[in-house]
Amino acid sequence: MLKHKDIKGTAVLLHEDPSGDKFISAYYVSDRNVNTSELREYLLKYLPGYMVPSHFIPIDRIPLTPSGKIDRKTLPSPEIEITESFIPPANEMEEKLADIWSQVLRIDKGKISVEANFFKLGGHSLKLTVVIAAIHKIFDVRLPFSEAFRFPSIRGLSKYIQGTKKEKFSPISPCEQKEYYPLSSAQKRMYIPQQMDVEGTAHNMSMSFPMEGPMDIRKVEQTFYQLVQAHEILRTSFMVLDGEPVQKVHEPADIRFKIQLFDLEPNHDTNPTYFTGELQQIEQRFIRPFDLSKVPLFRVGLITLKGSNVILLVDLHHIICDGSSINIMKNYFMRLYQGKVLPPLRLQYRDFSQWQNSELRENIIKQQEKYWLSQFQGEIPIINLPYDYPRPLLRTLEGDFVDVQIDALHSGALKEIAAKEGTTMFQLNLVLINILLSKITGQEDIIVGIVTEGRMHADLKNLIGVFINRLALRNFPGSEKTFIQFLGEVKERVIKAFENQDYPFEELVAQLGIKRDASRNPLFDIAYSFNTIENDTGELPQQDSNQVRQEQSRQNPVISKYDVEFIAIEYQKYMLFRIFYDKSLFKRTTMETISSYLTDIISRVVENNHISIKELVVIKEIYDQKLVIPREDQGDFAF
């Protein structure tokens, strides 16, 4: 800044806004009225975008301490006028769209300008799925993903909806009651592997919720019985009838279970939020196989800690629940525990399953099938990772993970690239992963699997059950492409994939004629998911004036369902890549090395996002130290 002809003195500070995001403010001394827009353009000639200050504050002089250093504590706080660019809804349609955004983004409606960009407010492809479903239900307009990216503001969406042909929303109807119901496509994916490994727990979903404050054990039990009565899927069993797997809904009176109680007296310095060795042992005893023919397919436990604190344990089989359902179930539990009365459900999971099985014959699914088959024409690539051990005949699922933390400045730079290119962090991270995989395999035809919520229909929003679908994203990180070019390609492929996400993954595998291999997943062995960590804005229950606070902890022990799974987690202040891997295939040192390549690629991209993929060379010296056990069926590794 001091090189600018009008700037006589300057100081720069890193601030943090109320949401935890960091930004740079520049304080300057000048004897002229400086145009800050021109000053920002001037700095962009010399600095990457993420290093250009967000705010410029004129001051009379640079304050100094007695030792002659800049006295940063006396510099005024930047005045952030959020309302300066706030434009309220102008009509009923914009009001309804603002309501949808507020619910999905978990932002106060009064803070959402109709000109604000959905993706800059924390939206991404998965959240967009919920928005699209709500728009279809409320406005009778089926919004394509591509159009949502073209019109990322409420005002833009409103104009698009008004000028678009109506496509009437068709609600899911309750099916007739009968003794047996068909399985959904996701349930079929869970049922067959479980029957092949009846003693396995790979499809258990186990969570723990530390609670601060006393809990009434009898009341906890009664609350779960209320959940069982309201949600039929929690009293559903599975069996084979005439050669086909089916599900049976039982009466509430048929359900018998008891909360398992555990006592634990932690050391005085133990924080109950984190697992100690003793807590892990309790969890390992608690997590056990389920017999899918017997109800209920969940269990509940309570660990009593020192004082009044407890940890609520919940273990369910994946065939009756998914990640979104865990949050729905948790929300229902907390509200029922408070004594609130919940409205009866219009639909049950069996209604969805019946609807999905009839939907498979509909034209829309056939159209989506054409898209997916076109994506996998010709030879389908098999990822050629640098494995340390020969692949076992049967996957062990024993996993571990390494963490890669991306600091605030680099995270901010990546967000800026995404915003500038009109993409999401979900898409940008997928690009980084594809480039990393290409560099460590020498392949330029990469398939990475992702999981979608599978709740494209708005009627499914509050149901407990398994709705998830897997999408196989095939991309081509050619060495001659620039990072930005490849980012644009991936963006378009992701948009198309999400527009065709209703097509069941199992149907695609069957149509492609892929033979099942117990040592691999069909179609892809690399998975990716993206999560944002948000503050919980829901009400928390109180009992006897003591607040009960709950926090979800991760499953233990670590299970790896893929060779490698990348989970990108966006926090308020930074970003984290948690890389799960199969311990039967990789040493930890190998994954630590690979994770270092990821950070190197990110640094290079931040420095120059127009860099070619060919120029993103991994550090040769690190590879020289790594031993890769060669196998005849693995081919050559080009680094």
Residue 590 has pLDDT above 90, yes or no: yes
**Which pLDDT score is estimated for 634?**
33
Best CA proximity match to 415, nearest among 86, 14, 43, 54: 54
Is position 25 within any domain?
yes
**Which pLDDT score is estimated for 71?**
82
Residue 543 has pLDDT above 60, yes or no: no
Q: What CA–CA distance (Å, rounded) separates 230 from 344? A: 7
**Which pLDDT score is estimated for 442?**
94
Q: How confident is the model at residue 553 (pLDDT cuts 50, 70, 90)?
A: very low
**Alpha helix (H) ranges present in 106-247?**
125-139, 145-150, 154-162, 185-196, 217-230
* Domain identity same for 56 and 100: no
**Which pLDDT score is estimated for 161?**
96
**Which pLDDT score is estimated for 535?**
45
Contact 442, 638 (CB under 8 A): yes
Half-sphere exposure of 190 (CA within 13 A, CB side): 29
Query: Which of 2-11, 217-226, 417-426 shows the lowest per-residue confidence on average (mean pLDDT)?
Result: 2-11
* Domain identity same for 272 and 398: no
Where is the domain boundary, 330, 349, 368? 349
The pLDDT tens digits of the residues spanning 24-45 come to 788 889 888 887 767 877 886 7
Neighbour tally for 137: CB within 10 Å:
17
Best CA proximity match to 56, nearest among 84, 33, 74: 33
* Domain identity same for 287 and 392: no
* Domain identity same for 341 and 484: no
Where is the domain boundary, 295, 328, 349? 349
> 92-105 vs 154-162: helix axis angle to the nearest 10?
130
Residue 632 has pLDDT above 60, yes or no: no
* Domain identity same for 319 and 396: no
Q: What is the mean pLDDT of residues 321-336?
A: 93
Residue 337 has pLDDT above 70, yes or no: yes
Q: How confident is the model at residue 525 (pLDDT cuts 50, 70, 90)?
A: very high
Is position 575 within any domain?
yes
Q: What is the CATH number of the domain that holds 500?
A: 3.30.559.30
Contact 31, 38 (CB under 8 A): no
* Domain identity same for 574 and 457: yes
Is position 544 within any domain?
no
Q: What is the CATH number of the domain that holds 33?
A: 3.30.300.30
Q: How confident is the model at residue 162 (pLDDT cuts 50, 70, 90)?
A: very high
Is position 326 within any domain?
yes
Q: What CA–CA distance (Å, rounded) separates 112 from 117? A: 9
The pLDDT tens digits of the residues spanning 253-304 come to 999 989 999 987 655 445 544 445 777 788 889 999 999 999 999 999 999 8
CA 420 to chain CA centroid, nearest Å: 22
DSSP 307-333: TT-EEEEEEEEGGG--HHHHHHHHHHH
Query: Which of 53-62, 380-389, 508-517 shows the lowest per-residue confidence on average (mean pLDDT)?
Result: 53-62
The pairing of beta strand 22-29 with beta strand 55-58 = parallel
**Which pLDDT score is estimated for 23?**
64
Residue 622 has pLDDT above 70, yes or no: no
In 184-289 the beta strands, taken as DSSP E runs, fall at 204-212, 236-241, 244-249, 260-263
Q: What is the mean pLDDT of residues 1-19?
A: 76
Q: Which domain, by its residues, includes 26? A: 9-79
Which comes out higher in pLDDT, residue 571 or 528? Answer: 528
DSSP class of 232: G
* Domain identity same for 490 and 619: yes
Residue 625 has pLDDT above 50, yes or no: no
Side chain identity, residue 415: K
CA 93 to chain CA centroid, nearest Å: 29
* Domain identity same for 339 and 390: no
Residue 336 has pLDDT above 90, yes or no: yes
Work out the angle at residue 335's Cα, subtended by the Cα atoms of residues 463 and 99, and round it to the nearest 5 degrees. 65
* Residue positions counted in the chain: 639
What percentage of the chain exceeds 90 in pLDDT?
57
Total domains, the chain: 4
**Which pLDDT score is estimated for 278?**
79
Which comes out higher in pLDDT, residue 151 or 627? Answer: 151
Is position 549 within any domain?
no
**Which pLDDT score is estimated for 17?**
52
Neighbour tally for 363: CB within 10 Å:
7
Q: How confident is the model at residue 433 (pLDDT cuts 50, 70, 90)?
A: very high
Which comes out higher in pLDDT, residue 638 or 411? Answer: 411
Q: What CA–CA distance (Å, rounded) separates 221 from 206? A: 18
Q: How confident is the model at residue 252 (pLDDT cuts 50, 70, 90)?
A: very high
Q: What CA–CA distance (Å, rounded) separates 385 from 439? A: 10
Is position 539 within any domain?
no
Two tokens, residue 225: 């019985």
Q: How confident is the model at residue 49 (pLDDT cuts 50, 70, 90)?
A: low
Q: What is the CATH number of the domain that holds 150?
A: 1.10.1200.10
Q: What CA–CA distance (Å, rounded) separates 527 from 249? A: 33
Please state whether the predicted TM-score (pTM) of the whole model is above 0.85. no
Q: What CA–CA distance (Å, rounded) separates 83 from 112? A: 10
What percentage of the chain exceeds 70 in pLDDT?
86
**Which pLDDT score is estimated for 239?**
97
**Which pLDDT score is estimated for 122?**
80
**Which pLDDT score is estimated for 512?**
95
Q: What CA–CA distance (Å, rounded) separates 147 from 124? A: 14
Is position 635 within any domain?
no
Neighbour tally for 140: CB within 10 Å:
15
Best CA proximity match to 337, nearest among 490, 530, 550: 550
**Which pLDDT score is estimated for 636?**
28
Q: How confident is the model at residue 94 (pLDDT cuts 50, 70, 90)?
A: very high
Mean residue pLDDT across the chain: 85
Residue 130 has pLDDT above 80, yes or no: yes
* Domain identity same for 133 and 103: yes
Q: What is the CATH number of the domain that holds 339?
A: 3.30.559.10
The pLDDT tens digits of the residues spanning 447-460 come to 999 999 999 899 99
Q: How confident is the model at residue 364 (pLDDT cuts 50, 70, 90)?
A: confident
Q: What is the mean pLDDT of residues 134-138?
A: 95
**Which pLDDT score is estimated for 637?**
26
Residue 84 has pLDDT above 80, yes or no: no
**Which pLDDT score is estimated for 609?**
93
* Domain identity same for 61 and 118: no
Q: What is the mean pLDDT of residues 89-108?
A: 94
The pairing of beta strand 564-570 with beta strand 526-532 = parallel
**Which pLDDT score is estimated for 499?**
93
* Domain identity same for 489 and 602: yes
Contact 435, 613 (CB under 8 A): yes
Where is the domain boundary, 36, 51, 79? 79
Contact 324, 316 (CB under 8 A): no
* Domain identity same for 298 and 264: yes
Is position 447 within any domain?
yes
